[in-house]
Amino acid sequence: MGVLTTTITAVGKLGSASRPHRAIEDVDIHLRLGGLTSRGPGIQDDHLVWFEAHDLKPGDKVFLEVIEAAAADPVQSGEPARQRADDERDYYEHCKRVYFELKEKYDGTV
């Protein structure tokens, strides 16, 4: 593993002054325990998920204990991580392409 994350995400009307982008005023609260493998050069890494809860509500308690373990529990899901090319020229060309695609949108010139 190269990255291990626990994330609690709350989406919706989270305060009296908030103006959500959707009409529904419900708050959705999600918990996710995941990570990213770190297998080394030339070997595909994966985003992994061990646990997800999509039905949390205000007042719920979440307890987290950090431990060392010789082996991890089986993952619930995973997907290949996108690789960024280490080649400097490829990265430059990518940035240049994106710059020209977005230039008019942000400064009104071509």
pLDDT digits (tens, 9 = 90+) for 39-80: 888 788 899 999 999 999 989 999 999 999 999 889 999 998
Show me where the domains of the chain are located: 3-82
pLDDT score for 106: 85
Residues 101-110 have a mean pLDDT of 78
Residues 77-92 have a mean pLDDT of 78
Residue 86 pLDDT level (bands cut at 50, 70, 90): low
Q: What distances in angstroms separate CA 27 from CA 10, 22, 90, one per listed residue?
A: 7, 11, 42
Taken as a whole, the chain contains a residue count of 110
